[in-house]
Amino acid sequence: MPRFAANLSMLFTEAPFLDRFGLAARAGFEAVEFLFPYAFEAAEIRRRLDAHGLALVLHNLPAGDWEAGERGLACHPGREAEFRAGVERALAYARVLGVRQLNCLAGKAPAGVADEVLRRTFVGNLRHAAAELRKAGLRLLIEPINTHDIPGFYLNRTAQAAEILDEVGADNAFIQYDVYHAQRMEGELAATVQQHLPRIGHIQIADNPGRHEPGTGEINYSFLFDHLDRIGYAGWVGCEYKPAAGTDAGLAWRQRLAR
């Protein structure tokens, strides 16, 4: 059975963020992930992790002005200094929190910028981030995101991510494979995961349509979880879904689908 991590940006949202760690532990999770830690002191998050015996398996690099609709800035020419400052900030948190991998959101392609400029900017920023993370013994992840939910998101397909990682040329850079986003953009989930398994550093799940918990939509998660075991995926699986009727009510899928 895969090892599941609760995404605290999506689950237990009825409680304040710092209270969600305890709720995740009481629900049987041994690990958590979330989008961003930066609104809180790193030491306070670490206290919550330690108090509840939880591992932190992932958070994101700073991604621009999230409230204003930005979803990353790694492909934005002219903002390289801001990106590099974000890498340093993320590393400062990682040193306290003990997280071993950080995800880089590419961002939405700025209007009017040629694709070769976007790619050159993205690759250059990734090379810098991977080199800085390597010094700390961390892995860098990049995540394809579907353009139905986030129109214009630059990195949106698994093969595209693999090609970019080839160009980056960093041995500590991997793909974060989000099953929900992949289903919406390309399908062929089992074959794609198996093909790119050596490049996949982390997997996240939600069903489609609705981005709710596994078992609420069209994805055969019972098969997919067995498939991950068969092909030897050994990483964490992040539960990054919107509960259809409350977090606790929706957690029965773990017993039903992940046996």
216: tokens are 């609420």
What's the Rg (C-alpha) of the chain? 17
From the candidates 30, 70, 80, 240, which is the catalytic residue? 240
Q: Residue 171 is encoded by which pair of tokens?
A: 């041995």
Q: Which residues of 87-102 are buried (b: 16+ CB within 10 A; e: fewer)?
A: beebbebbeebebbbb
How far is the C-alpha of 222 from the C-alpha of 257, rounded, in Å? Answer: 5
b/e code 233-248 from CB counts within 10 Å (16+ = b): bebbbbbbbbbeeebe
Q: What is the DSSP letter of 108?
A: B
Lookup result for tokens 């099953």:
179
Provide the strand spans (E) within 133-172: 139-142
Q: Which two tokens stand for residue 143?
A: 């995540």
The residue from 67, 70, 143, 218 that is catalytic is: 143
Type of residue found at 29:
F
Look up 30 and say whether it is catalytic: no
Residue 143 annotated in active site: yes
Among the listed residues 115, 127, 117, 50, the one whose alpha carbon sits nearest the alpha carbon of residue 84:
127
The two beta strands, 173-178 and 3-7, are: unpaired
* DSSP one-letter string for 191-212: HHHHHHGGGEEEEEE--TTTS-
Residue 192 token pair? 């794609």
Q: Quick check: bond before 198 cis, omega within 30?
A: no
Q: Which residues are catalytic?
A: 143, 240
